[in-house]
Amino acid sequence: MKSFYITTAIDYANGKPHLGHAYEKVLTDVVARFRRLMGDEVYFLTGIDEHGQKVQQSAGERGITPIELCDEAAVAFKGLCASLDISNDDFIRTTEDRHKKVVRSILQKLFDQGDIYKAEYKGYYSKRAEQFLQEKDRDGNGEWPEIFGEVEEIAESNYFFRLSRHQEWLVEQLKTNKSFIYPRFRAKQVLEFLKEPINDLCISRPRERLEWGIPLPFDEEYVTYVWFDALVNYISAVGYGTDSFEKHWPADFHVIGKDILVPPHAVYWPIMLKAAGIALPKSLLVHGWWLKSGAKMSKSTGTVVDPLDLIDQFGSDAFRYFVTREMNVGQDSEFSQERYMSRYNSDLANDLGNLLSRVLTMVGRNFGGKIPGPRIEESLELELWTLWKDTQKKVLDLYGEFQFHSGLEKTFAFISAINRYAEQRAPWKLAKSEDPEDRKRFETSLYVMTESLRLAVGLLEPVMPNTTDKVYDLLGYTKEADWDRRLLRGDTLVGQEIGEKTILFPKPQMES
C-alpha cells in the first residue's frame, strides 16, 4: 500500500527554531496524526536545510566550521520536534550522503538531457531569501521589499536550468489540477506570477564565492544553488532511485508557509520534477504567518517568540492547542502572550481541566471511585447525545478540510455543553435528595459526564495526544484500536475505576 506521505519545509540551519517553525511542524503533525487515526499508513518527513551562503557566513562570524554549525542546528531542531511531540518518521539533513547523491544524480540527468546550460549571469540576489531576483520583484516604488533584506548585484558565469520551456505546461497544470494548491486562492497568486515570462533559473554558485554547497557533478568549480538542493530533500529522503521510492512518492502534501510558495514550490519544484520525469506531489498545503505587532515573525526582524519557553511553562499539548486553535490555515495570525494566557485559562484550565477534576472528585466521593451506569434518560441527556453526534461528524469533516481551528472550536463547544449539563443536573444537589428518581438521575449524570468527556477528548487526539491519553487513563478507559469505535457512545466506562484527582492544566505563577 502506498503511504500517505507528508512533509514540512526544511528549516534553515542558521537560526534558532521559532514559533513559525514550531507551528508548521505542529500543523503537519496534526494532519499526520489525523490521517493515522483515519486508518492511513502515514510517512512524515521533516528536516533542515544546511547549505548556502547564510550558513557559511554565520559559521564564519562565530569562528566555527559550517558543519559544526549544522550539527548544532540538527540537535536544536530535533529537540524542538521532541519537545512538541512531533510524530515524524524521518529527519533529513541536506549534508547527508543519501541526499547529496540524489541531488547530483538529478543534476547530471538534467545536464545530459540538455536542460542545463552555462551562461553569464548578471542580476540581483537576495541573501536572506537565497534567491535570484527579477525586476518584477520590486515593489510599487521600485524598491526591493523588506522580505529580501540586503540585495546585491552580481555578474558571473553560471549554470542555468531551462525553466522557461515548461512555463506553458505549468500554467495548464495549475489551471486544470484544482487540488494542487490548498487553499485554492493561493493558486491565483502563482498564475499571476506566471503571466510574465519566467527566466531560466541560475542553479549554481562559483566555488570561489561559496564553498558550502553540493558540487555540481559536471563541473566541480561550482556548487548547487541552495533551493535546487533543498527541494530535492522530498525525494532523496524516501529513496529516489530505489524500490522503496514508489511506496511513498508522489507526496500527498508538502506543508509550507506562504513565503516559499512562489516561486520555489509552485514553479521551480514542479518544473524540476517534470524535467526529470518524476510525478508531481499531489498537493501543497500553504499556511499563513505568525505575526508580531502586524509583521512576520522572523529572526532577521528580531521579533521571534521562542516556542520552547512556552512549552516549558505550559506543556506541549497547550502549545499545540493554542497554535492550532488560533490559526486559520489560510490566513495570518497575531501572536500575543495575553491571547495565549486567555486560551490556556479559559479553554484548557477551566472548561476542560475543571470538568475532569469535578468528575473525578464526585465519582471518588460518591461511588467509591467506580463510574456508575445510566439509569434514566431525560431530555437533558438526549440533547447532549444529539449534540455529540452532530459534533463528531462536523469535527471529522472539518479536520478533513484542514479547518482544525473550527474543529477545535466545535469540540470545545461540546465540552462547554457538558459543563452546562452538569450545572443543570447539579449532581451535588441530587446527591442529597431522598427521592429514588433523583438517585437515578444522580448516577446517570455522572455516567453522562464521564462518557461525554471521554468522547470529547477522543476528538482532541490529533492535536493534544498526551491529554487524550491522560484523560483516558484517569477514566480507566483502555483505548480501542479503531478511532471510530473510540468515538462511539457506549458503556465501556461503567464500573471502571477512576484515577487520582489530577489538575490537567495547572495555572502558572505569572510574573506581573
Binding site for ligand MSP (CB under 6 A): 9-12, 20-21, 23-24, 49, 230-231, 233, 256-257, 259-260, 289-290, 296-298
Closest contact distance (angstroms) between CB of 78 and ligand MSP is 15
- Nearer CB in complex with ligand MSP: 265/454: 265
Task: Give the nearest distance from C-beta 87 to ligand MSP in angstroms.
Answer: 18
- Minimum distance of ligand MSP from residue 443's CB (angstroms): 49
Considering the complex, what minimum distance in angstroms separates the CB of residue 322 from ligand MSP?
Answer: 14
By beta-carbon proximity to ligand MSP, the closer residue of 20 and 353 is 20
CA 247/CA 140 separation, integer angstroms: 47
Looking at the chain, the number of H-run helices and the number of E-run strands are 20, 17
Quote the CA–CA distance of 271 and 164 in Å, as a whole number. Answer: 9
Q: Which is nearer to ligand MSP, 228 or 388 (CB)?
A: 228
Q: Which is nearer to ligand MSP, 72 or 259 (CB)?
A: 259
Q: Which residues of 109-147 are buried (b: 16+ CB within 10 A; e: fewer)?
A: ebbeeebbeeeebeebbbebbbbbbeeebeeeeeeeeee
Taking the least distance from each CB to ligand MSP, the nearer of 228 and 412 is 228
Residues ≥6 apart with Cβ < 8 Å to 452: 384, 388, 414, 418, 421
Pairing, β 253-257 against β 284-287: parallel
Closest residue to ligand MSP using C-beta atoms: 257
**Nearest approach, Cβ of residue 456 and ligand MSP (Å):** 29
Nearer to ligand MSP, 17 or 458 (CB): 17
Q: Is 269 exposed, middle or buried (0-12, 13-18, 19+ CB in 10 A)?
A: buried
The closest alpha carbon to 174, from 330, 328, 280, 288, belongs to 280
For the bound state, the minimum distance from the C-beta of residue 15 to ligand MSP, rounded and expressed in Å, comes to 7
**Min dist. Cβ of residue 50 to ligand MSP (A):** 9
The torsion of the CA quartet 419, 424, 428, 434, rounded to 10 degrees, works out to -150
String of DSSP letters for 77-129: HHHHHHHTT---SEEEETTSHHHHHHHHHHHHHHHHHT-EEEEEEEEEEETTT
303 within 8 A of 5, measured Cβ to Cβ: no
Pick from 210, 205, 224: nearest CA to 94: 224
Q: How far is the CB of 232 from ligand MSP (least distance, A)?
A: 8
- Of 313, 294, 441, nearest to 376 by C-alpha is 441
Looking at the Cβ atoms of 291 and 380, the one nearer to ligand MSP is 291
Eight-class DSSP state of 144: P
Task: Give the shortest CB-70-to-ligand MSP separation in angstroms.
Answer: 13
Which of 194/232 has CB closer to ligand MSP? 232
The residue to which cell 490555515 is assigned:
329
CB of 136 to ligand MSP, least distance (A): 21
Overall size of the chain counted in residues: 512
Three-class DSSP category at 370: strand
What is d(CA 311, CA 494) in angstroms, rounded to the nearest whole number? Answer: 35
Work out how close the CB of 114 gets to ligand MSP at its nearest, in angstroms, rounded to a whole number: 26
- The residue (of 88 and 450) whose beta carbon lies closer to ligand MSP is 88
Nearer to ligand MSP, 50 or 85 (CB): 50
User: How many C-beta atoms lie closer than 10 Å to residue 205's C-beta?
Assistant: 27
In the complex, least distance from residue 343 CB atom to ligand MSP, rounded to whole angstroms: 18
Contact partners, residue 280, CB within 8 Å, separation at least 6? 173, 180, 250, 270, 273, 274
Question: CA–CA separation, 272 vs 231, rounded Å?
Answer: 9
Cβ density class 432-449: b for 16+ within 10 Å, e for less: eeeeeebebbbbbbbbbb
Q: Give the span between the Cα atoms of 215 and 103, in whole angstroms.
A: 10
* Identity of the residue, 286 or 356, whose beta carbon is nearer to ligand MSP in the bound complex: 286
Residue number with CB closer to ligand MSP (265 or 486)? 265
